[in-house]
């Protein structure tokens, strides 16, 4: 004989809720984008490979999340599912907007020969769907973010979301550093690189502990650890924000203006400028993070 089960095996809320619809749109837009590029749009060099890897990986992970929630499979995973989905949504938002900006800038030329206009049209269509993909991920972040007075996962709070943004900005800094930045010319600029590296590593550890649900294993309460570290990161970034511009743009050590002998495509001065700008961006992010860390209660 058969008896009715106590609950449904499938979770229909995973596809009919607002967040579920946003995830389905993410998968549709992501699949459409890289299909258009792979079919006729085309891509080349590191920029194109980066964009295709972003669209493909985001599509795959989104399908995995939808499948896990639809079948309740996420209950069998040894991770904090809410922290994982919140962290991925924020990361995918940043990656997708980056790809949506890079691809049209490098691959769309509005003037074309009659035989090449079809490729241009495919690239324009791919760029449009890439932008829609970004809005779909941003919608999920908006829907799942922590509301005032709500008990939720750490990665859904402003502080948790800022951790993802801080790590992303640090990756931009590292990209500029390896692009002939000549940071090893002075001990002071080497200190700045140590600041970027230390803060990036600890921030990634905080995210990893939250996603894996291992925060209770810390030697001190997680909220105290996060606040102490964020305060240290603010102080360290303030020092880097002072030191880096002095040793890169002061006439005694560097050049306040872009040297004339620099090539258009590659110049250490350009890398210095990118690092300086994003150093200030991350410093502000850590200050905002510290302010919000004082206001939230970790559960």
Q: What is the pLDDT of residues 140-181, one digit of tens each?
A: 999 998 776 666 788 999 999 999 999 999 999 999 998 877
* Cα–Cα dist 95/157, whole Å: 20
On the question of pLDDT at 6 being above 60, the answer is no
Domains held by the chain: number: 2
Q: How far apart are CA 117 and CA 236, in angstroms?
A: 51
Please report, for the domain that includes residue 188, its CATH number: 1.20.140
Task: List the helix and strand counts (H, then E) for the chain.
Answer: 9, 0
In a domain, 169, yes or no: yes
Find out whether 26 and 92 touch, Cβ atoms under 8 Å: yes
- pLDDT above 70: percentage of residues in the chain: 92
Residues 44 and 98: their CA atoms lie apart, in Å, by 17
Domain boundary among 144, 167, 191: 144
Over the stretch 192-246, which tens digit does the pLDDT of each residue have?
A: 999 999 999 999 999 999 999 888 877 888 888 899 999 999 999 999 999 999 9
Same domain? For 25 and 62 the reply is: yes
Examine the domain organization and report whether 153 and 232 are in the same domain: yes
Instruction: Over range 105-116, report the average pLDDT.
Output: 72
**126 and 169 both lie in a single domain:** no
Single pTM value for the model = 0.90
Q: Which of 129, 144, 159 lies at the terminal end of a domain, its last residue?
A: 144
d(CA 49, CA 31) in angstroms, rounded, equals 16
Q: Which residues contact 293 (CB under 8 A, 6 or more apart)?
A: 159, 223, 226, 227, 230
Is 195 found in the same domain as 118? no
For residues 140 and 33, membership in a common domain is answered with: yes
Are 37 and 119 in a shared domain? yes
CA triplet 12, 17, 23: central angle to 5 degrees?
Answer: 95
Structural domain span for residue 247: 148-299
pLDDT digits (tens, 9 = 90+) for 53-86: 999 999 999 999 999 999 988 888 889 999 999 9
Asked if residue 72 is part of any domain, the answer here is yes
């Amino acid at each position: 004989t058969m008896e009715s089960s106590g609950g449904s095996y499938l979770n229909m809320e995973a596809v009919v809720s607002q967040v579920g619809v946003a995830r389905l749109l993410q998968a549709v837009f992501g699949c459409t984008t890289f299909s258009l590029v792979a079919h006729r749009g085309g891509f080349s060099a590191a920029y194109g490979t980066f964009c295709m890897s972003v669209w493909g990986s985001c599509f795959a992970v989104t399908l995995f999340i939808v499948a896990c929630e639809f079948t309740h499979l996420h209950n069998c995973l040894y991770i904090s599912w809410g922290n994982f989905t919140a962290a991925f949504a924020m990361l995918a938002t940043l990656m997708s907007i980056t790809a949506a900006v890079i691809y049209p800038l490098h691959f769309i030329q509005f003037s074309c020969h009659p035989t090449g206009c079809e490729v241009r049209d495919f690239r324009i269509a791919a760029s449009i769907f890439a932008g829609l993909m970004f809005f779909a991920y941003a919608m999920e972040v908006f829907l799942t973010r922590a509301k005032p007075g709500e008990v939720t996962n750490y990665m859904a709070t402003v502080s948790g979301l800022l951790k993802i943004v801080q790590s992303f900005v640090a990756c931009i800094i590292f990209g500029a550093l390896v692009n002939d930045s000549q940071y090893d010319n002075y001990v002071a600029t080497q200190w700045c690189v140590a600041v970027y590296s230390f803060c990036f590593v600890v921030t990634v550890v905080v995210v990893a502990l939250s996603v894996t649900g291992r925060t209770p294993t810390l030697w001190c309460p997680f909220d105290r650890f996060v606040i102490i570290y964020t305060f240290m990161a603010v102080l360290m970034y303030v020092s880097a924000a002072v030191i880096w511009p002095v040793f890169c743009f002061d006439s005694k050590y560097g050049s306040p203006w872009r040297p004339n002998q620099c090539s258009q495509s590659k110049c250490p001065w350009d890398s210095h400028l990118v690092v300086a700008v994003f150093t200030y961006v991350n410093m502000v992010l850590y200050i905002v993070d510290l302010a919000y860390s004082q206001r939230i209660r970790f559960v």
